[in-house]
Amino acid sequence: MQLLLTTLLFLVSSAIATPGSPVLAAAPAATTPVSFVLVGDSTTNNDTVVDSGGWGNGFCASLAKNTPCINTAHDGATTGSFIAQGLFNKSLAAIKGEVAKGRRTLVTIQFGHNDMKIAPPASMGANLTIMVNAIRAIKGEPVLVTSLSRRNFFPNGTINDALGPWADETILISQQEKTHLLDLHKASITYLQKIGQAAANRLSRTLNDTTHLNANGTIVFGRIVANLMNASYPNQLPIIANPTLTNQINKGIPSF
């Protein structure tokens, strides 16, 4: 008995003392490969100016090499136009393709910037619910994302935000439909207020474009999305850590 116990203790301690040993490596093994499909407007899209536009490129670049990350977001889209123009059908086709390969397929959905120009939040909410159900029907996993903040500041340094009710609606739908939620709206406001207007402007695609991002902006906000994703699915996803950028984001130190 004593010998057995000693042997067991030895086995356990030697396993702990040997990082990468088969015993330790066993835990995260057998994970299904993951793909991502992104649905949204220009604040997610990979825009015409290479690597600018939305956070999508930066998010995709935060993933392990060879992780499919298909950005189907479209400039100017509302939830309604995205469905009516057949863009959502293209997203569904991409999701089907990944699911058919046996991959766990996470689908981010972020709208609000254009929806707010045409209808009250509940209209977007109804369309988000349609999207969530359609994605689930083909075995994708919807992940609702609240709108990236615009970079409009009051003179006192706080963000002048108009997207709040659309972010709240997205949160409501995530609760009703029991989806994962990434509160990018909140995280981006917190970050922007810490770095301030001058540093925020350096992330804009062009001077005074407080909506779209340049390549550096996609890196920063893509990383914020990656970190929110990792927080929502701790250590389950092929996200490559970037401790330097993450530390700067958490502390509100400008990276560019």
Ligand X SMILES: *[C@@H]1O[C@H](CO)[C@@H](O)[C@H](O)[C@H]1NC(C)=O
Give the residues lining the site for ligand X (CB under 6 A): 46, 50-51, 57, 60, 69, 71, 78-80, 84, 86, 89, 115, 118-119, 123-124, 127, 154, 156, 158, 207-208, 214-216, 230, 234-235, 239, 241, 256
Taking the least distance from each CB to ligand X, the nearer of 103 and 210 is 210
Taking the least distance from each CB to ligand X, the nearer of 11 and 86 is 86
Query: CB 17 → ligand X: shortest distance, Å?
Result: 21
Residue pointed to by tokens 């309604």? 80
Q: What is the DSSP letter of 174?
A: H
Taking the least distance from each CB to ligand X, the nearer of 103 and 246 is 246
Query: CB 89 → ligand X: shortest distance, Å?
Result: 4
- Bridge pairing between strands 34-40 and 104-110: parallel
CA of residue 57 relative to chain centroid, distance: 11
Nearest to 46 by CA among 63, 58, 62: 58
Taking the least distance from each CB to ligand X, the nearer of 66 and 208 is 208
User: Which residue type, as a one-letter code, is found at position 117?
Assistant: K
End-to-end CA distance of the chain: 62
Which sign, positive or negative, has the C-alpha torsion 64, 252, 186, 215?
negative
- Quick check: 80 and 128 in contact, CB under 8 A? no
Taking the least distance from each CB to ligand X, the nearer of 60 and 192 is 60
Taking the least distance from each CB to ligand X, the nearer of 141 and 237 is 237
Name the β-bridge partners of 63: 239
> Would residue 47 be called left, alpha or beta, if left means φ above 0 and alpha means ψ between -120 and 50 degrees?
beta
Query: CB 24 → ligand X: shortest distance, Å?
Result: 15
User: Which residue type, as a one-letter code, is found at position 153?
Assistant: F
Query: CB 6 → ligand X: shortest distance, Å?
Result: 33
Query: CB 92 → ligand X: shortest distance, Å?
Result: 7
The three-class DSSP label of residue 196 is helix
Q: Give, in degrees to the nearest 5, the angle at Cα 155 between 154 and 161.
A: 5
Taking the least distance from each CB to ligand X, the nearer of 23 and 241 is 241
Which residue of the chain is nearest ligand X when measured via CB?
80
Query: CB 105 → ligand X: shortest distance, Å?
Result: 16
Query: CB 12 → ligand X: shortest distance, Å?
Result: 22
